[in-house]
Amino acid sequence: MPPVTALPEGHPLRTGRTSTSPLVLAARCEPVPHTPVWFMRQAGRSLPEYRAVRAGTSMLEACWTTDLVVEVTLQPVRRYGVDAAIFFSDIVVPLRAVGIDLDIVPGVGPVVAEPFRTAADLERLRELSAEDVAPILAAVGALTDELGTTPLIGFAGAPFTLASYLVEGGPSRDHARTKALMLEAPDVWDALLARLARITGEFLRLQVLAGASAVQLFDSWVGALSARDYRASVQRHSADVLASVAGFPVPRIHFGVGTGELLSEMRAAGADVVGVDVRVPLDEAARRVGAGTALQGNLDPAALFAGPEAVAAQVDRVLADARDLPGHIFNLGHGVLPDTDPDALARVVDRVHARTAH
């Protein structure tokens, strides 16, 4: 593990504020007082207090408003007592920060004004600097102070998923143009992912310097690929991103939906913790990633729409699957769905804590 002195003075992993938090311990496969739990997309959408403070502010505007990011990020920590915060943002924020014209359209998702089509478009992807994301880094810093012993997870989108938004011009089920570019123009593809890896790697590095105690790299759509295509065209770029924070003693979590075929490859890209979706039980996932790797997951977010008893049974099933893991961070197998009852999430936190305390 890199020395804590690689971090700036005052960083919560250097001062020790978060270094014995359940999240950091579990990520390092060290003994924990209880299994840590947080939820992907815990900040936002399903919380009434979020909808109240976001009213009248667009998603992108909100992501660039320091006070709002801080407040929305803290809301689920206050409400649920989760073991980590993840700062409120969107994976396209660093693309916007380097000048890509895009918007996050309610009910649709990110929409890119001029989709990426040819090598000439590469020039639009300049390097990211701290100034480009100053209000966000200010939020990370403020959160780190506010959160005390609760770690803040920094995050970014992985090159494949960002490339899909750029090439398709928005969310896509099929990623047809993205895959076509990957197959027919490997040089352009490589150059595109290399630039995205520099942007997103630098964004993660800046978040760590600003106080994040862990990072999660989201490759939301990479489950659309076979392991062969992932190895040939994606893995080294994700590895470059994760390598950008390898000099810090900061756990690196890596997750994508439907990545059962890719778990060992995502581990090999440099993840300390591999996030697992609902399709693969955690014990089977452990066999795929190999010994000594912590896992994160994998309660089905859809299960939260069932009654409390059914949810409790599903929580217990996940905990049973995780029994022999060297490290387990309890999470959903995907993000919180917008219509989720916050009380259902509160019951999950309480149950995980109660069942694993020792």
Judged by the rule CB under 8 A, the positions of this chain that interact with a copy of itself are: 174-181, 183-184, 223-226, 228, 258, 260-261, 278-281, 300-307, 309-310, 313-314, 334, 337, 339
Residue nearer to a copy of itself on the CB measure, 96 or 334: 334
- Least distance from a copy of itself to the Cβ atom of residue 225, Å: 7
How would DSSP label each residue in 39-72?
-TT-SSTT-HHHHHHHTTS-HHHHHT-HHHHHHH
- Least distance from a copy of itself to the Cβ atom of residue 300, Å: 6
Residue nearer to a copy of itself on the CB measure, 79 or 288: 288
Give the position of tokens 């390598």. 243
- Least distance from a copy of itself to the Cβ atom of residue 341, Å: 11
Residue nearer to a copy of itself on the CB measure, 176 or 357: 176
Residue nearer to a copy of itself on the CB measure, 137 or 262: 262
- Least distance from a copy of itself to the Cβ atom of residue 180, Å: 4
Catalytic residues: 41, 45, 54, 90, 165
User: Taking the alpha carbons of 84, 61, 222, 270 in that order, is the dihedral positive or negative?
Assistant: negative
- Least distance from a copy of itself to the Cβ atom of residue 319, Å: 15
Structure tokens at 78: 């206050």
User: Taking the alpha carbons of 35, 41, 46, 48 in that order, is the dihedral positive or negative?
Assistant: positive
Return the SS3 of 252: strand
Question: How far apart (Å, rounded) are the C-alpha atoms in residues 251 and 298?
Answer: 19
Burial of 282 (0-12, 13-18, 19+ CB in 10 A): buried
Residue nearer to a copy of itself on the CB measure, 31 or 307: 307
Question: How far apart (Å, rounded) are the C-alpha atoms in residues 152 and 38?
Answer: 11
Structure tokens at 18: 């978060």
Structure tokens at 202: 């630098």
- Alpha helices (runs of H) in 28-158, residue ranges in sequence order: 48-54, 59-63, 66-80, 93-97, 134-147
- Least distance from a copy of itself to the Cβ atom of residue 286, Å: 15
H or E segment at 309?
helix 308-321
Residue nearer to a copy of itself on the CB measure, 131 or 309: 309
